[in-house]
Amino acid sequence: MLSNVQEWINDRWPVKEVWKAATEEEIPGGASYAYVFGSATLFLFLLQIVTGIWQIFYYVPTTDHAYQSLSYLRLNVPFGWLIHGLHFWGATAMIVLVAVHLSRVYIWGGYKKPRELTWLLGVLLLLFTMAMSFTGAALPWDETGYWASEVGTSIAGTTPFLGNVAVDLLRGGAQMGQLTLSRFFILHVAIIPAILLAFIALHLVAFRKKGSVGPWNESKRKRIGAFWPDQVFKDAFVFTIILLILIGLAAFFAPPFSGPADAIDTTFQPKPEWNFLFLYQAIKAFQGPWEPVGTIGIPTALFAFFFLLPFVDKNPERNPRKRPIAMLIGFIIAGGITTLTITGYYSHPGAKQNGGSVATASAKPGKAATVETVSAKQPELPPLSPAQKSGATKGAQVFATMGCTACHTVNGVGGHVGPDLSGEGLKAHSAAWLTTQIRNPKSHDPKTVMPPFTMLSNVQVGELVDYLTSLRSTAAPAAAPSTSVASHTPQTPPPNVRVIQLPSQVGEPGLAASMVGNVGHGKKLFDANCASCHGMAGKGGVANPGSYLGTIPALDPVRPELFSKDPAVFADNLDRFIENGAAPPGPSPQKAMAPMSMVGYGKTQSLTQQEISNIIAYIMSLNGVNRAKILHPGIAPKTFFFLALGIFILLWLILGTMRLVSTQGKTTASSEAEKK
């Protein structure tokens, strides 16, 4: 019956012939583990297709939701961590295997006649694989991918003549944006994979036509092995090992959450995917008009070498020992790429720059100090104009209500985190200097903890400047006991007033609450924007005279009303405050001592939603909650890995015993036959 069906189909579709063409191949010298890399790459490519398709069940290629959709897949979908982890590490493994496969063929002289076309198709496959890696990295629309794409497409832009057109075409416009993501998406999931499939087919047909290259040693070539099942068994064995390694990587080294893409971020250090690091490092050697040499010249030269190789090196000799020049060139290329990749991996250009700017900054306060002493000797300051006087009165109110008093003392009232400003008007800081200090304090001293008051209007800053210029008290600033204001005894609130607002009373959370931020990046942002009020690492202790609490709430630990073990709820609670701000109640304020309130950083756009998401992740990590916690793992990643490992070890043991028993059985049978 079954054979009838087989025959019926075979009469109409050549199953047998196709199977024969796919499996029947003689391998000179026999099957070998040296030949598994091509099939391993193919296996990985198929795995990438499957994991890729599965990701599209959840992923959307839009700039406002790509990151969230991927986070959702990874944290909320059962085995989403596995699907994404396999795809992420599979991409890396594919590049590695392609490189090993290429090196193997190079060493064996497999590019020589009659296999030139197989080689050329292979080199093209390498190019397309790199293109997959480049377009794929952009899709999460996270910091890593966004900046790698920004720089990568800019590199294309440095190409002489066609560069600008090329970069606009890649990006779908002059700037990175939704159209860039759409283009990268369609290239990554449809166009390049289709090309890859076609070229893999061509590569395989060419390979089958001329067969395996086999050992260079004539005597070893006499033994003939079969592709099916000898080589395929070895391939399958290697696949399982690769699969286990990938599952292990996905379980133990999950791809990082680098935070949602933020186009105005200056703290992130963009680096390309590891497989482009050699180029990134090489580019640094060429600057100015020579830049295209690094960006375009080097990769072009590299691929030109690979393309021309079979036509230049026509000597049929395949033994590597008798091909010193080819081996030397190969060694130089491999060594060069490896060295550049490693140096690229460990290079931190941003860190160096930071160090530099710190050095120049440390020189600055000294200069400022000399300016101050000089001005102190010149008591004839211009008197205040009437306009300045009225500005100063309003400025005093801004000073009292926008939180300045928490850190700065004026005439004995206020905190001691920042300098006493009672005599600020005597320092002869220009209005422009003061404006910059308020708007962007880090431009004067990169180490300052003073937050940038970007939420103030220009008018308010002007009034503050007038106020500060009017402060001309010559009395020596009071000694700064570190706890003076913090120890200010808070007044008991009336019974119907809550000391602290509940999240539900503040307002709705913003988009930031739904984005999984990056803790490290969040720490930087926290130090720059939040630490001056909430204390370094959220430890609190900064005075808020005038509020019932007396201090600004610490964030480590946060108040129990805000805490939740559910990362989404915790993030929501925190974001309600960061988005909308908060105004702690206090006793009826005297003018100078109104309780300092928190500005709505999201609402006023003082911070981007992306930045806020990173800060949330950091505050949550201070409280022992992982923003990127896997909520629905299916099976816990590590358990799943050990489960898979156990299954395969058991399988290998069973197969090994089966083989042993059958060979032993045979030898005993044959020896018994001999006896007879």
- What is the total residue count of the chain? 676
Between 591 and 632, CB nearer to another protein: 632
| Run of H or E including 26 | strand 26-28
Smallest gap from residue 305 Cβ to another protein (A): 24
| Contact flag: residue 627 with another protein (CB under 8 A) | no
| Contact flag: residue 352 with another protein (CB under 8 A) | no
Smallest gap from residue 669 Cβ to another protein (A): 11
Between 90 and 294, CB nearer to another protein: 90
Scanning residues 404 to 463, which ones bind another protein (CB under 8 A)?
A: none
Instruction: Verify cis geometry, omega within 30 degrees of 0, for the bond prior to 14.
Output: no
Contacting residue, 21, 50, 198, 351, with another protein by CB under 8 A: 50
How many Cα atoms are found within 13 Å in the side-chain-facing hemisphere of 340?
20
Q: In this structure, which amino acid lies at residue 23?
A: T
- Count residues near another protein (CB under 8 A): 57
Stretch that binds another protein, among 176-184, 222-230, 332-340, 542-550 (CB under 8 A): 222-230
| Contact flag: residue 467 with another protein (CB under 8 A) | no
| Contact flag: residue 635 with another protein (CB under 8 A) | yes
Contacting residue, 8, 13, 233, 331, with another protein by CB under 8 A: 233
Q: In this structure, which amino acid lies at residue 298?
A: I
Separation CA 671–CA 665 (nearest Å): 10
Residues whose CB is less than 8 angstroms from the CB of residue 69 and which lie 6 or more positions away in sequence, other chains included: 58, 59, 60
Smallest gap from residue 34 Cβ to another protein (A): 16
Burial (CB count within 10 angstroms: exposed 0-12, middle 13-18, buried 19+), residue 391: buried
For the record, the structure tokens of 674 come out as 């001999």
Contacting residue, 322, 389, 638, 659, with another protein by CB under 8 A: 659
Contacting residue, 30, 292, 587, 589, with another protein by CB under 8 A: 30
Contacting residue, 52, 90, 136, 225, with another protein by CB under 8 A: 225
| Contact flag: residue 72 with another protein (CB under 8 A) | yes
Beta-bridge partners for 26: 226
Stretch that binds another protein, among 165-173, 469-477, 541-549, 640-648 (CB under 8 A): 640-648
Smallest gap from residue 78 Cβ to another protein (A): 5
| Contact flag: residue 212 with another protein (CB under 8 A) | no
| Contact flag: residue 642 with another protein (CB under 8 A) | no
Cβ-based neighbour number of residue 640 at 10 Å: 18
Burial (CB count within 10 angstroms: exposed 0-12, middle 13-18, buried 19+), residue 534: buried
| Contact flag: residue 216 with another protein (CB under 8 A) | yes
For the record, the structure tokens of 421 come out as 């400003």
| Contact flag: residue 117 with another protein (CB under 8 A) | no
| Contact flag: residue 218 with another protein (CB under 8 A) | yes
Stretch that binds another protein, among 53-61, 301-309, 358-366, 414-422 (CB under 8 A): 53-61
Stretch that binds another protein, among 122-130, 194-202, 549-557, 655-663 (CB under 8 A): 655-663
Separation CA 150–CA 162 (nearest Å): 18
| Contact flag: residue 655 with another protein (CB under 8 A) | yes
Contacting residue, 240, 354, 436, 473, with another protein by CB under 8 A: 240
For the record, the structure tokens of 579 come out as 């988005």
| Contact flag: residue 58 with another protein (CB under 8 A) | yes
Scanning residues 245 to 264, which ones bind another protein (CB under 8 A)?
A: 247
Separation CA 525–CA 532 (nearest Å): 12
| Contact flag: residue 631 with another protein (CB under 8 A) | no
Give the N- to C-terminal CA distance of the chain in Å, as an integer.
Answer: 43
Contact criterion met (CB below 8 Å) for 375 and 427: yes
Smallest gap from residue 30 Cβ to another protein (A): 6
Stretch that binds another protein, among 73-81, 97-105, 391-399, 546-554 (CB under 8 A): 73-81
For the record, the structure tokens of 411 come out as 């005439």
**Residue from 603, 604, 629, 602 nearest 615 by CA:** 602
CA angle 364, 370, 374 (to 5 degrees): 145
Cβ-based neighbour number of residue 628 at 10 Å: 18
Smallest gap from residue 222 Cβ to another protein (A): 5
Separation CA 189–CA 225 (nearest Å): 38
| Contact flag: residue 367 with another protein (CB under 8 A) | no
Separation CA 437–CA 429 (nearest Å): 10
Residue listed under structure tokens 């079969």 = 226
Contacting residue, 632, 649, 657, 670, with another protein by CB under 8 A: 632
What is the x/- site pattern for another protein, positions 509-528, by CB under 8 A? --x-xx--------------
Between 76 and 347, CB nearer to another protein: 76
Scanning residues 172 to 191, which ones bind another protein (CB under 8 A)?
A: none
Contact criterion met (CB below 8 Å) for 473 and 543: no
Cβ-based neighbour number of residue 330 at 10 Å: 17
CA distances from 179 to 184, 186, 506 (A): 8, 11, 36
Smallest gap from residue 657 Cβ to another protein (A): 12
Cβ-based neighbour number of residue 228 at 10 Å: 14
Separation CA 438–CA 455 (nearest Å): 10
Between 80 and 550, CB nearer to another protein: 80
Residues of this chain that bind another protein (CB under 8 A): 26, 28, 30, 47, 50, 54, 57-58, 65, 68-69, 71-72, 76-80, 82-83, 216, 218, 221-226, 229-230, 232-233, 236-237, 239-240, 243, 247, 316, 318, 508, 511, 513-514, 632, 634-635, 640, 644, 647-648, 651, 655, 658-659, 662, 666
